[in-house]
Amino acid sequence: MNIHQIFENNKKWVHEKLNRDPSYFENLSKGQDPDILYIGCSDSRVTAEELMGVQPGDVFVHRNIANMVPNTDLNVLSVIDFAVLHLKVNHIVVCGHYYCGGVKAAMQSRDLGILNSWLRNIRDVYRLHKDELNHITDEEQRYKRFVELNVQEQCINVIKTADVQRAYLERKIKVHGWVFDIHSGKLIDLQIDFRKVMENVMEIYRFR
Ligand SMILES: [Zn+2]
C-alpha cells in the first residue's frame, strides 16, 4: 500500500459519490442520525462499515483491541454515553472476530508490557468461563469459543452501564453480540438471550 495512493483513491471516491448524488457531501455535513452503535476490534481485516454493507452516517463506530468494554475505560464509556444519550441509538452491537490477535495473546502467558493491563480484561473472561474453555481439547475450537464468550461478556459490560439500563427502561434499547468469521466472511449473530441477561445483570447492577 503506497500512502500517496490513498489521496488518489479519495479523489476517485469523491468523484463517484458526486456522480451518483451531487448533494451527497452537502447532506452528509448536515449531521448524523445513526441508529446503531458498533463496538468492534481494531484488526485491519475487520472493517466495520464494509462487512455490514452500510454507508457513512449509518453507524456510530468504536474499535479497540479485541472489542473490549472495560468498566473503567473512559474512551469506550464516553462513546456509549454519547451514542445512547445524544444520538439515541436503538441498537448496540459488540462484534468480535475469529482469529483475533488480542484474544490469542490473552490465551498465552507472555509478558507484553503495556498491553498486559488491557489483556487482563480478556483473561478475566477466561477465568469466568475456565471450566467450559478448559474442556475444549481442540485448541482452535477453544480459541473460537473464547472469542464468542468474550463478546458475550463485553455485551454484559455494555448492559451494566447506567445509560443503557435507563435506555432499556425508556425505549427498549437492544444489545447484540456478533462474531465475524474471517475464514468465510460471514457475520454470525450469537443470539444472546438479551432479555435474560438484562434481567440477571439488572438484579445486581441496577441503578434505580
Ligand atoms: Zn481482533
Ligand 1 mean position, distance from CA 149 (Å) = 14
Catalytic residues: 41, 43, 45, 97, 100
Q: Which residues surround ligand 1, an ion (CB under 5 A)?
A: 41, 43, 100, 102
Backbone angles phi, psi at 52, to 5 degrees: -95, -10
Digit-coded pLDDT (tens) for 28-63: 999 999 999 999 999 999 999 999 999 999 999 999
Ligand 1 mean position, distance from CA 63 (Å) = 10
Ligand 1 mean position, distance from CA 36 (Å) = 20
> pLDDT confidence of 203, banded at 50, 70, 90?
confident
The grid cell for 150 is 468474550
Q: Terminus-to-terminus CA distance in the chain, angstroms?
A: 52
Q: Cell numbers 468465510 correspond to what residue?
A: 184
> Closest Cα to residue 51, out of 169, 136, 61, 27?
61
Q: Under DSSP, is residue 198 helix (H, G, I), strand (E, B) or coil? A: helix
Answer yes or no: are the C-beta atoms of 86 and 31 closer than 8 Å: no
Digit-coded pLDDT (tens) for 131-185: 999 999 999 999 999 999 999 999 999 999 999 999 998 999 999 999 999 999 9
Those residues with Cβ within 8 angstroms of residue 57's Cβ, 6 or more apart along the chain or in another chain: 28, 32, 33, 34
Amino acid identity at 187: L
Amino acid identity at 43: D
What pTM did the predictor assign? 0.93
